[in-house]
Structure 1
């Protein structure tokens, strides 16, 4: 159990996603400390910042900031000095470094990475594609996919596809079910096909949780099918069959057992990127 607890305030001029990602990556290195995150996003005026400082005074803790406006930065620093809490500006060193390297003065534009450019609309298009081609939907129409994920039920195909869509990648996913032939379009596809697999025991736990969340008295419930869904021998056989299918078609396979969706996606991007 954590030995101590702190409140960490994250103050951002934009959505706070970058700051949150940095904070969580750092927090993971301190397993003996419980860190409560307080998010203060879209802070773009001195009035808003004064409100944030009042809250920090009530729930004291260190502050990580990604403010880019010099006036807000100065007010943030003065406020933290007054409250006697530590402040870290996570962008300032990086901006200074790039200013020295490029010779260009930073624009200090809040949320500058969030612009509705070609990449933005590419991500939106990819998200629509994933929705339309999730879990075997429109499986005969995969020619527009950037890649296709295959695997047995509950190996994180769908969430991985959505994560990839946020990178602008149109990913379809096809479930592999023993006794049911995969869609023919899968075998003639010119795009990468990648299999996902997982440890049998881990898969059973995931499936058991899924079953417990479903209505037990559903009229569509099939006890024998539910048993096969979480029976160790049958799950092992199912996973072996899926691996053989991938091996037969030379589809690379990624084991997601101890991988987060982000790590799985990074492996997929590594496999599909030009060498």
Structure 2
């Protein structure tokens, strides 16, 4: 572990912003990640990102050792929907993890992107080049990829400012009788199961809009639009209102429809191009297993 000592010269802004001045070789995103990990200390206590620095503060940063995962390009025959010198849009299949992590060192979307694209942004850590946002392993559909750091900053800013467009299609348990709705409920890590998310009063703001597309008696097909992008947001929100996703025994009933995981597809993606400022909108068809399941439900209805 590499330990850094920074002595603050004068009263100033939040620590994440202040440290970018003292550590020009590190991005603000990296500094914010250290704060989340609790490795930035003052008087032996980990600091929060909203701490405002004071003159003579002695800040200690215990930089973790870099991951030892070997990140290799792999020919995974990814479906690149669009590509130019700044951005790419990829249609991720179900069952594919977005980036390497413990237990997933190969076969990830990042491994495939390294093989098929000539450049990827470097703003995130070494295991997430080009990745601006994620979808779950068993969720299919569209993701935007940054090919340089300027494009990454622009796309990430659009996500933060809620100016990008993300629409999903999901098949859920139950019969939703109203045509439209909005779910606004804060999401945080579950206190019962650390691998799950849950509705928590102290969680982060999360907003999901939904529209009913088709009803099948015991199931409903819905279109969902994300206003925020919390981990497992759609899965948690639909469970919260009593209509959990089909194929998702983690957040719904164990007895569910058979597929390749939850029936959730990132169907539509829109953003402003970082360089040209053109409005870009892309759409991906439902996976074959999703379409087949809908046909079977229509036959029964």
Question: Under TM normalisation by the shorter chain, which class is it?
Answer: under 0.3
Q: TM-score, normalised to structure 2's length?
A: 0.24
For the pair shown, the structure with the greater C-alpha radius of gyration is: 1
Q: Where is the strand percentage greater, Structure 1 or Structure 2?
A: 2
